[in-house]
Structure 1
Amino acid sequence: MLLAVVSSWIMIHSREIQLNGIIPDLIKVLWEILQVRVLVLVSLFLQVILILCGNRRKYIANRGLQLVVWLTYQLAGWVATYALGILSKDSKNSLIQPNLIIWAPFLLLHLGGPDTIIAYSFEDNELWLRHLFGLISQLIVAAPVIKISWNVDNLSYVTIPLMVAGIIKYGERTWSLWLGSSKKFEESILPPPNPGPNYAYFSYDLAEKLDEGYKVRLMVESTPVSFYHSPIVIANERIQDAFFLHHGFYLFTIFEFLFADLVLSIQDHHNSQHFFQSIPWNDAFKVIEVELGLMYDKLYTKARATYTCLGIFLKCVSFFCTLFAFVSFYYMMINKDYDKTITLVLFLGAIFF
């Protein structure tokens, strides 16, 4: 079908194409027809790479892998933004085709990024406010495209649920970056402030007892509070590496203070020191591996936002909105003149990834 469209266009405009410029003009025509389709597929391909390789650098120290993830991370946002801008421009000029309207919400989903990577470096978390502004600006860009769907038969049943899913996914990314910022990260691990004993009330009560004739004697009691985390093996053979997971998670609550530039307490210092002196060196490195993995998930993925009641609820809403849009597209528009193959591939990517 695409080749027939291209050939018919060339036949109609054959007199306008000069012989010395036929190749550049042909490339230009092909690009005008295919640019949105190519960009949407490239955007999906970049998302697949981020899903598969986004967290691999947590396990593999390879410069080639780091380069691939970095390039993909940088290109993914640019390609989706550029494609969404083309759709918005065509919608303002009334040149957009109905089948291309469906792809705008998919680009918002792509801008939300996969759960495996939201930041490449710790400094990216500090840019959460920029991503919030990006969410608002991209919604403004996508609004004219979505508005057209109201004038196309039953198309709003596809675009509106996808738009909701795209907003949720983009919002999750901004939320996760905010939680991973240095200020919020430090606030999340600090315990509630302890004002200490009320000395004013203590002095008043002491003076009152003395005035009443009581014999009062001040005593200072020192109670040892040190607690050593004993490396006891968990008796659950069904869980692989249960020992390392258990103790790694416990020590992670101490370990994360170092990333926030906070000082460890004497108790935490003695607990960790006693633990690592009590186990073999190879087990110690495995426990540290668990700690570093948890820290990576906390700073560079959507784990902190996902594993909450609100995060699970938003995941469910996003999934069912995407599923509803897919069912609506399949039963209402599968027999219409749309790019069904590309749209179905985009739906598969949105549902399973």
Structure 2
Amino acid sequence: MRTIQEVHTCTLNKMNQQLAILVQRCCGSNQGGLPQPPTNGESRYANSSTLALSRPVSVAGAGTKLYIQSFYYLSKGEIMTLGEDDLFSWLDLWGDWNIEALVLVSLALQIFLTLFGSRRKYITGFWIRFTLWSSYLMSNIIAKVVIGKLTGLDTKYLPHRELKGLLAPLLFVQIGNPDSITAYSIEDNRLGLRQLLSLLFQVGVVIWILFRYWNSSSHFSFLFVPMFVAGVIKYGEAVWALRTALTGESGITISEIDQEENVPALFRQLPESVPGVELILKAYYRFSCLKPHLENWLYKPLYESLQWMSIDAYSAEDIFRITDSELGFMYDVLYTKAPIIYTWQGCILRIISFLSLVSALCVFAIFSNTASDKISRKDLVFTYLVLIGAIILELYQIILLPFTEWAILKMTRYHNMPMVMKCLRALGPKSSKWKRWSNSMGQFNLLSFCLHDKQLKYSRIIKFRGIDMELRKTWNRTRVEIPKKLKELIVHEMKEVDSARNSKPITHRGQWALERYGCLNNEFKWSVKRDFDKSIIIWHIATSICYHLDVQYGIANSQIEMGQLLSNYMMYVLAMRPHMFCTTTANIIFQHTYTKLMILLRTRPSLVKDEGEACRIFRMEELPKESDLDKRKETMVTSDWHVLKDSQRLALSLMNRENKWNIICSVWVEMLCYAASNCPVDYHAEQLRRGGGLITHVWLLLAHKTDKFYTSD
């Protein structure tokens, strides 16, 4: 039987013969023949028409050097040599460093996720979501690819293979993801059982890798134990968080609320010198009772009658702060490890995992000093880098643990201890400044969109792909900070809605408001009886007309501004988040309205330059008949709907009312309540990772006073 060296030599000769034939065909001559493979590792050169370059390439498992010759034709008969920085060098560099490079990339992604994972709850930008999404996916993929590569290496001739094997449990730590982003979206939580099976499979693979890379003659192999413990704990934490997110196991239960006699006493015992703590405590117990992220969680609003659960006596600012904290708890339950970290089991596991990483680093430092002459500098520096990086990330997350609302909750149970009270006094006032959501609302004005809309570059290609209109809507939207006056208006109007519905699900979208102002007649009733998306567009255009005409007459007050903000916000949700309205015709209705408005504005004798001028057209002039407009193909949804005339009719009716802005604001808040309460829970949960939304805050406030047991019978 031939040896491996003989097989390699035979293969090399065949390769040289094939290369020689190829060069002869390309050159058209064979001057002097082609050089034979070198036998001493030195390069041999051909005559002026060809060049043979030889360089050694390591063959895994063979323990030999295989020389591969590449021949290059030189047109001028020059002899040229290729240095170490060319193709072979790059291939060798990748072959030597591919695993290490992937591990470093994975570590960099983990650093990014740790630093920015929680910021998406108060940042609404697209790029933060895109970078987090790509980092979240790539970090897990890269880690699993490296584990796969480790299973395929030949460990027999691999020097210090135990250092390579150390990467497997280290990657296990990275697969577990940082505390700030266990799940990217709500769908990830539904894969909890699948993640459990994946954990068991990955544990088996890592154990097999550690068994293969174990070197009984090296002390470094003992590092496998603490690293494996840390990896299993981190991955197990992630699976635990995903499993409990949608099972209702996090937080307290209703039966515990009934038996929790110390809860009301806890509110009374908290001193006034710790402002902000009471709001966090109330928000947590309200969240734990309602569990708003669980669609099938049955909860009666009778707990609202308990004094320590009710927030009716609070100011609008405090009501929104409590709601902010509730939604913050909901975000943490769905997307982070917070609910399990702040349990006694979670604390113990965190201590064990951190000490395991630190002990691994200390042991490696001790053994590397005694065996520094046997370990390459590359392996030494790389191992130190990844171990220190993992420990710094873990330490950073531990340092952040006290600066959360979950930590404040735990401290309140031990507020009698002087040290804990000092911490509460320090953290309580600061907690009101912590960012829990963007505190902003989207704005989209339909008239402004039509007047300033421009064709995009490559619009034909984009339109063919179906994203032309979406991009134009995205570039014409804006965001504004929610003013305090608007919060007060919403809280006041929601109390009116609550008194009218009496804990029943909301089925009206403007009727109660019109009834309060004596307008529920033929003059206005028709406008709120239309399909919901049509009603929004009609009221949006009418509100814009009333707003710009009042501005032209110098009439300005906070209620006018609040009405316009609500109108633009509801139009923003319809245009950018139509799924939250649970209507399948929103895009059709929007496109139809846009087309009609563009035809009207472009058929004017003079160019319409701003919204004020467009509003004067609606008010002062008779609109052309539908037959005079461009007859495009109508759908069944829009064939019998005259959006321009309906909007003009409603605007004229509102302008005849002295209290038109009271009516407008009340109707918009009621429409907002209707949309919020009828939107599926998953869409509200998705809003939390997009910077939050006003409609989600309204939904949570309504959910606390909605009886899920109510039936129409």
* TM-score, length of structure 1 as denominator length: 0.76
1:250 counterpart = 2:285? yes
**Runs (4+) off by over 6 Å:** none
Any conservation in 2 of the 1:50–1:72 contact (CA below 8 Å)?
yes
1:132 to 191, 196, 207: 196
Mapped partners of 1:258, 1:50: distance in 2: 24
2:382 to 334, 342, 350: 342
Q: Which residue of 2 aligns with 1:207?
A: none
1:289 to 302, 324, 328: 324
Q: What letter is aligned with 1:89?
A: G
For the structure 1 residues 85 and 20, does the alpha-carbon distance in structure 2 shift closer, same or farther, using more than 3 Å as the test?
farther
Count of equivalent residues: 306
Any conservation in 2 of the 1:255–1:291 contact (CA below 8 Å)?
no
Q: Which residue of 2 aligns with 1:266?
A: 301
1:321 counterpart = 2:321? no
2:56 to 4, 7, 12: 12
Indicate the structure with greater helix content.
1
For the structure 1 residues 187 and 291, does the alpha-carbon distance in structure 2 shift closer, same or farther, using more than 3 Å as the test?
closer
Q: What letter is aligned with 1:110?
A: Q
**Cα offset, 1:112, TM superposition:** 1.3
Q: Which residue of 1 aligns with 2:218?
A: 153
For the structure 1 residues 297 and 345, does the alpha-carbon distance in structure 2 shift closer, same or farther, using more than 3 Å as the test?
same
For the structure 1 residues 279 and 41, does the alpha-carbon distance in structure 2 shift closer, same or farther, using more than 3 Å as the test?
same
Structure 2 counterpart SS, 1:279: coil
Q: What letter is aligned with 1:108?
A: F
Q: What letter is aligned with 1:251?
A: R
Any conservation in 1 of the 2:183–2:242 contact (CA below 8 Å)?
yes
Structure 2 counterpart SS, 1:16: strand
Q: Which residue of 1 aligns with 2:101?
A: 38
Q: What letter is aligned with 2:343?
A: T
* TM-score, length of structure 2 as denominator length: 0.40
Q: Which residue of 2 aligns with 1:112?
A: 176
Q: Which residue of 1 aligns with 2:339?
A: 304
**Cα offset, 1:288, TM superposition:** 0.9
Any conservation in 2 of the 1:116–1:301 contact (CA below 8 Å)?
yes
Mapped partners of 2:209, 2:365: distance in 1: 21
Q: Which residue of 2 aligns with 1:352?
A: 392
For the structure 1 residues 317 and 138, does the alpha-carbon distance in structure 2 shift closer, same or farther, using more than 3 Å as the test?
same
Any conservation in 2 of the 1:115–1:302 contact (CA below 8 Å)?
yes
Mapped partners of 1:246, 1:54: distance in 2: 25
Mapped partners of 1:79, 1:87: distance in 2: 12
Deviations 1:4-51 (A, max 9, x none): xxxxxx843596242569755443322111111110000111111111
Mapped partners of 2:237, 2:159: distance in 1: 30
2:248 to 185, 201, 204: 185
Mapped partners of 2:316, 2:307: distance in 1: 14
**Cα offset, 1:138, TM superposition:** 1.8
Mapped partners of 2:90, 2:249: distance in 1: 54
**Cα offset, 1:293, TM superposition:** 0.9
Q: What letter is aligned with 1:185?
A: G
Q: What letter is aligned with 1:163?
A: F
Counterparts of 1:70-81 in structure 2, within 5 Å, are 70-81=133-144
Deviations 1:264-305 (A, max 9, x none): 313134459994432222222111111111111112111222
Q: Which residue of 1 aligns with 2:402?
A: none
Identity of aligned residues (%): 28
Q: Which residue of 1 aligns with 2:90?
A: 27
Q: What letter is aligned with 1:39?
A: L
Q: What letter is aligned with 2:332?
A: D
Mapped partners of 1:18, 1:289: distance in 2: 67
Any conservation in 2 of the 1:257–1:263 contact (CA below 8 Å)?
no
Q: What letter is aligned with 2:182?
A: I
1:176 counterpart = 2:241? yes
Any conservation in 2 of the 1:298–1:304 contact (CA below 8 Å)?
yes
Mapped partners of 2:155, 2:218: distance in 1: 20
Which blocks of at least 5 consecutive residues in structure 1 are unaligned? 1-9, 194-227
Mapped partners of 1:112, 1:274: distance in 2: 36
**Cα offset, 1:59, TM superposition:** 2.3
Q: Which residue of 1 aligns with 2:206?
A: 142
For the structure 1 residues 130 and 24, does the alpha-carbon distance in structure 2 shift closer, same or farther, using more than 3 Å as the test?
farther
Q: What letter is aligned with 1:169?
A: K
For the structure 1 residues 185 and 289, does the alpha-carbon distance in structure 2 shift closer, same or farther, using more than 3 Å as the test?
same
For the structure 1 residues 271 and 325, does the alpha-carbon distance in structure 2 shift closer, same or farther, using more than 3 Å as the test?
same
Deviations 1:202-248 (A, max 9, x none): xxxxxxxxxxxxxxxxxxxxxxxxxx99x9896443x4632432322
**Cα offset, 1:92, TM superposition:** 6.0
Q: What letter is aligned with 2:338?
A: A
For the structure 1 residues 110 and 292, does the alpha-carbon distance in structure 2 shift closer, same or farther, using more than 3 Å as the test?
same
Q: What letter is aligned with 1:121?
A: S
Any conservation in 2 of the 1:189–1:257 contact (CA below 8 Å)?
no
Mapped partners of 2:307, 2:154: distance in 1: 61
Structure 1 counterpart SS, 2:355: helix
**Cα offset, 1:64, TM superposition:** 1.4
Structure 2 counterpart SS, 1:151: coil
Structure 1 counterpart SS, 2:291: helix
Mapped partners of 1:70, 1:233: distance in 2: 44
Mapped partners of 1:187, 1:307: distance in 2: 11
Any conservation in 1 of the 2:253–2:289 contact (CA below 8 Å)?
no
Mapped partners of 1:25, 1:16: distance in 2: 10
Any conservation in 2 of the 1:135–1:170 contact (CA below 8 Å)?
yes
2:132 to 69, 73, 78: 69
Higher Cα Rg, which structure: 2
Which blocks of at least 5 consecutive residues in structure 2 are unaligned? 1-53, 58-65, 74-81, 257-263, 394-713
Q: Which residue of 2 aligns with 1:58?
A: 121
1:333 counterpart = 2:373? no
Q: RCO higher in 1 or 2 (8 Å CA, sep ≥ 6)?
A: 1
Mapped partners of 2:388, 2:272: distance in 1: 38
Deviations 1:126-161 (A, max 9, x none): 211221222222223222331222434102221221
Q: What letter is aligned with 2:321?
A: K
Deviations 1:188-215 (A, max 9, x none): 755459xxxxxxxxxxxxxxxxxxxxxx
Any conservation in 1 of the 2:160–2:375 contact (CA below 8 Å)?
no
Any conservation in 2 of the 1:257–1:264 contact (CA below 8 Å)?
no
**Cα offset, 1:88, TM superposition:** 1.4
Moved more, 91-100 or 112-121: 91-100
Any conservation in 2 of the 1:109–1:165 contact (CA below 8 Å)?
yes
Any conservation in 2 of the 1:90–1:96 contact (CA below 8 Å)?
no
Mapped partners of 1:304, 1:232: distance in 2: 26
